[in-house]
Chains A and B, each alone.
Chain A
Amino acid sequence: MKFQDPQERNDAMKPPTTTDNWNEVKAAAEAALPAPIVEFIADCRRREHPESHLISVLHKVQGHFGYLSAEHMDAVAQLLQVPAAKVSGVATFYHFFRLRPRGRYVINVCLGTACYVKGADKLVAKLKDELGIDFGETTSDGMFSLEASRCLGTCGLAPVVMFNDDVHPRVTPDQVPVLLQQYLDRARKAPPAAP
């Protein structure tokens, strides 16, 4: 890509004035995303290199919805004035972004080297066995999703499993059923908040 003056590129990114349906497209895109994110995108567009904030925007969208749907990505593309192909290209390139909804509790097994040599492979086998799902899948009751993480950076506590934001250090395969039950109990006590 040829390097352009930031200001010049900013002008080029402005919505074309000749299309008549921009207002409708914009309204539809804004309706698909929560107001703070719409405001954040507008703010990005006022800054230098607005397209460079694409990853931050996708982080926020996923933070809100838990995943990125085609509709969300399309809305981001319109509002940030970045081609939809680029948005989906970025979303599919990075492991962090998910294109399907996830379970209430996302189980993240660390498969870093330290965890691996301390037996994370056995934990994975047990988790897959107990849940009946593979990595990247969600149980049919929508309760658990299973994911592998590269390294959570808490190698001293290996092997580590995360349930959403809770870090469980030094987990043994025998503890797996107990942990799962704990979270099931917790879910039963606190029904999910309306989205």
Chain B
Amino acid sequence: MGQVLENYRKLSARAEEALHWTQQAEKIRIQVGSATCENAAGAEEVLAEFRKHIAASGRDDILLRRTACTGRCSCEPIVGVMIPGKTAAKYEKVDRELVHRIFTQHVLGGRPVADRLLDSPPDTMVRYELLFCGSARCGRLLEKDFRQLFLDRLAARKIPESQARVVAANCFGLCRTEVIGKASHVLVLPTKVIYRIADEADLDEILDTHVLGGRIVERLRVPDAPIGQRFFEMYGDVAFFNRQSRIALRNSGIIDPENLFEYVHFNGFEALARALDRNDPAWVVEQVTASKLRGRGGGGYPTGLKWAGAAERPGETKYIICNADEGDPGAFMDRSMLEGDPFSVLEGMMIGAFAIGATRGFLYIRAEYPMAIRRVEHAIAQCREHGLLGENILGSGFSLDLEIRLGAGAFVCGEETALIHSIEGQRGQPRIRPPYPAERGLWGCPTVINNVETFANVPVVLHYGPQWFAQIGTEHSGGTKVFALAGKVNHTGLVEVPMGATLREIVFGIGGGVPGGKRLKAVQTGGPAGGCIPAEFLDTPVDFDTLGKVGSIMGSGGMIVMDEDDCMVDIAKFFLTFSQDESCGKCTPCREGTRRMLEILERITSGKSAPDDLARLERLGKLVKKASLCGLGRAAPNPVLSTLKYFRDEYEAHVTRRTCPARKCTALVRYEIDPGKCVGCTACARNCPVSCISGAPKKVHEIDQARCVKCGRCFQVCRFDAVLRK
């Protein structure tokens, strides 16, 4: 064994020693999520309350752990309770009162608080749970409906619902060339065993021996632990999670982000140790190239190519930079990764630095993310302490130091040349490329800049092999993508799916559809640089190339769902206001063009548009797109152009009929009182801020349109639906 691997083994042994909780399998574990949004929802209070309860109970077999966020934002704070031998139970929206119930009833009494379990019907606590892999590569084995096969067999054996439950999960990541199409995988909980089954007889054996007999079928057992296993063990019974493939987010919500040993316990830094042990940077570049990993920040440039470009540049000084200036409104994947699993991002950076020959690196993080900054600082300090950063890492002779640099609220700094200027202490304005940073970057030296998510994927690529990784995605793009799902959707949060999953799967399958039975109108991807994809394209596979074809972009992963109440002109205006405000002012098309476009949109939404405004808007948009200097300007017209393309009728309604079909643009809305419904209660007249409603009590009221400011107060207060919004 090489010196590096030997040193890694020592570190690993230290970690196991320090992590007494892993050895204490008989203890009860309570884990509380803690990240920016979890804390905003009250996680700190919950943690303190549990601490009090444990102390008061005097029990020493209960461990309280802090993990980060799992990305299930709308249900936070989330608390997990793991009692040995039982399926892990997760509670949603936990508050002080619920802490008391969970502790007394579940932790001490052994009976779960059924009505507050995450996303589950009350009768959910079953003895066995069988999660079968529902991905296309696995599921094709048996032509019949897999789920039904299970259910029929359960019924034939008279196994009741309380004994076993069947769940369709997404890919476990076990598919290898030799088993594709030939075998399927089933994870049995709480035993945590994965079986590989080839035919229906195997299925029978599992049910007879394991579910009825309680013994593991060693013959069918898969020896290796797939990447998704820990995640599915913990969250596999929740529909929101089990249809995802967690690779970049593999540790989020599983490990304590402030404990290096926990990361090491889950094979952390092993990929780094192996790469250093081989001492062959070209091999690392080859592996990453073969994995078809593409830049997750939105550009989609193949990471391997970028690294190869920087690696072959001569020169002693090279830099590696992690772009964590997540500025897109509606995107929070990077924050969540930095808060939930900072070590994997650091490991990815270390591997990248080794591959290109950099000895110094920077993480450029938004100043708006104080907790992410704190956790990364902490992680860097721990890495230094354990010889994973600094001189002679793990005795390999390779040295690297990482440093945090803070952004200061400039969206354009997400552009790589602007980001470099910002790190250099200047105004964050972009410059013309080429030369690309891989040639001349920070202080004129070759520099590689990758997104947080890209780096988080790198250790996985080396650990599980590039073929495995490439296979998960589409033909030209390997792996998964994390999306921040928000807007008019039932389950908001972080969603990680294989490249090529459809929008329908994400919004309806995982996100649970649009609330209130409303109709989905469009999905906006890629933030202010992306476009609005109308409902008819819901079956588009999500990939860098396919989204481009429908007029949007993958972007960094923001995904906002819009329903029939959203006015697309207003949304286009919203994004353009953002881009206009963030335009750095360096090049004219962006600085002036976006301003003029915004003026036209303001005219349209306020009912003052000229007949040729739409043509002018379109022409200007195309010009800005072609002529701007950097990505911000070139993408700024996308929201306008895509909505003009797909929702032109809405624009035309604003321009020609002076109405807003979604009733969103205030200036175009008109309030009237329906004489048939008005009972003369005077509520509207009393509440009108400009006293423009006249009428005696018990007589029909009337709105003076000339004086109405369209505040909508009368509409809100009328209890007889007599105020009409037109």
A155 contacts which of B408, B492, B584 (Cβ < 8 Å)? B492
Query: Within 8 Å of chain A (Cβ to Cβ): is B409?
Result: yes
10 A–B contacts, CB within 8 A, in A order: A58-B408, A90-B427, A94-B407, A94-B428, A113-B524, A114-B329, A114-B486, A117-B562, A153-B331, A155-B492
Partner of A157, one of B40, B328, B424, B488: B40
Chain B proximity of A16: nearest CB distance (Å): 21
User: CA A151 – CA B562 in complex, angstroms?
Assistant: 18
Find B369's partner among A6, A114, A153 (CB 8 Å cutoff).
A153
Stretch of A20-28, A47-55, A186-194 on the interface side: A47-55
C-alpha gap A54/B428 in the complex (Å): 12
| Docked CA distance A71–B226 (Å) | 59
Q: Looking across the interface, which residue of chain B has its beta carbon closest to that of A169?
A: B40
Cross-chain contact A95 with B410 (CB below 8 angstroms): yes
Please report which residues of chain A, range 134-163, place their CB below 8 angstroms from some CB of chain B when the two chains form the complex.
149-158, 160
CA distance in complex: A152, B39 (Å): 13
Q: A59-B408, A157-B41 are in contact. Are A152 and B368 (CB under 8 A)?
A: yes
- Determine if A154 and B37 form an interchain contact, defined as CB atoms under 8 angstroms apart: yes
A150 in contact with B427 (CB, 8 Å):
no
Task: Establish whether residues B327 and A150, one from each chain, have CB atoms under 8 Å apart when the complex forms.
Answer: yes
Contact A155 B330 (CB under 8 A): yes
Residues of A within 8 A of B423 (CB): 52
User: Footprint of B on A, CB under 8 Å?
Assistant: 3, 6, 49, 51-56, 58-59, 82, 86, 89-90, 93-97, 111-114, 116-118, 149-158, 160, 167-169
> Which one of A3, A153, A158 lies within 8 Å of B368 (CB-CB)?
A153
Interface centre among B408, B443, B524 (most CB of A within 10 A): B408
Q: Which of B328, B426, B429, B578 counts the most A-chain CB atoms under 10 A from its CB?
A: B426
Please tell me if B326 contacts chain A, counting CB pairs below 8 Å. yes
Q: Is the CB of B179 closer than 8 A to any CB of chain A?
A: no
B687: shortest Cβ distance to chain A, in Å?
13
Known: A3-B443, A153-B335, A156-B493. A113 touches B329 (CB 8 A): yes
User: Which of A82, A155, A160, A169 is the most central at the interface, judged by chain B CB atoms within 10 Å of its CB?
Assistant: A155
- A154 to B566 Cα, complex, angstroms: 21
In the complex, are the beta carbons of B558 and A156 less than 8 A apart?
no
Distance (whole angstroms) from the CB of B38 to the closest CB of chain A: 10
A94–B574 touching, CB < 8 Å: no
B111 to chain A, nearest CB (A): 30
Inter-chain contact B560/A55, CB cutoff 8 Å: no
Q: Is the CB of A157 within 8 A of B73?
A: yes
A6–B575 alpha-carbon span in the complex (Å): 41
Contact with A along B65-81 (1 / 0, CB 8 A): 00000001110100000
Give the complex CA separation of A155 and B36 in angstroms: 11
A59 x B406 contact (CB < 8 A): yes
Binary contact readout B570-585 vs A (1 if CB under 8 angstroms, 0 otherwise): 0100110010001010
Across the two chains, which residue of chain B brings its CB closest to A158? Answer: B486
Tell which of A82, A89, A117, A156 touches B76, judged by Cβ atoms closer than 8 Å: A156
Q: Is B348 an interface residue (CB 8 A)?
A: no
B594 within 8 A of A: no
B531 at the interface (CB under 8 A from A): no
> Given A113-B558, A153-B335, A154-B332, 17 more contacts at CB 8 Å?
A55-B425, A56-B406, A59-B406, A93-B428, A111-B329, A113-B329, A113-B487, A114-B329, A114-B492, A116-B574, A150-B578, A151-B328, A153-B331, A153-B332, A153-B369, A154-B36, A157-B76
B558 with A97: CB separation less than 8 A: no
User: Please, what's the 1-or-0 string for B473-517, where 1 marks a CB less than 8 Å from any CB in chain A?
Assistant: 000000000001011100011000000000000000000000000
Contacts of B486 in A (CB 8 A): 113-114, 155-156, 158
Complex interface: chain B residues within 8 A of A112 (CB): 329-330
The answer on a CB contact under 8 Å between A113 and B560 is yes
A116 to chain B, nearest CB (A): 6
- What separation, in Å, do the CA atoms of A75 and B189 have in the docked complex? 64
A residues within 8 A CB of B405?
55-56
Q: How far, in whole Å, are A155 and B305 apart by their CA atoms in the complex? A: 34
Rounded to whole angstroms, the CA-CA distance of A94 and B408 in the bound complex is: 6
Taking the closest CB of chain A, its distance from the CB of B46, in whole angstroms, is: 15
- Is B446 located at the chain interface by the 8 A CB criterion? no
CB distance B409 to A153 under 8 Å? no
Determine the distance from Cα of A6 to Cα of B409 in the docked complex, in whole angstroms.
Answer: 28
Report yes or no: A94 in contact with B326, Cβ–Cβ below 8 A: no
Pair A59/B367 contact, Cβ less than 8 Å: yes
Residue of B nearest to A56 (CB): B406
**How many Å lie between the Cα of A52 and that of B73 in the bound state?**
37
Q: Please, which residues of chain B bring their CB within 8 A of the CB of A51?
A: 424-425
Residue of B nearest to A156 (CB): B73
Find chain A residues with CB under 8 A from B428 CB: 93-94
- Is B695 an interface position by the 8 A CB rule? no
B422 within 8 A of A: yes
User: In the complex the two chains form, what is the Cα distance from A183 to B367 in whole Å?
Assistant: 25
Sorted nearest first, the 5 A-B pairs with minimum C-beta distance are A156-B73, A94-B408, A112-B329, A167-B40, A96-B409
A49→B36 CA distance, assembly (Å): 33
> Does B527 sit within 8 A of A, measured CB to CB?
yes
**Is B444 in contact with chain A by the CB < 8 A criterion?**
yes
Q: In the docked arrangement, what's the CA distance between A153 and B72, Å? A: 13
Q: Does B411 contact A (CB under 8 A)?
A: yes
In the bound complex, do residue B444 and residue A3 qualify as a contact, i.e. CB atoms below 8 Å apart? Answer: yes
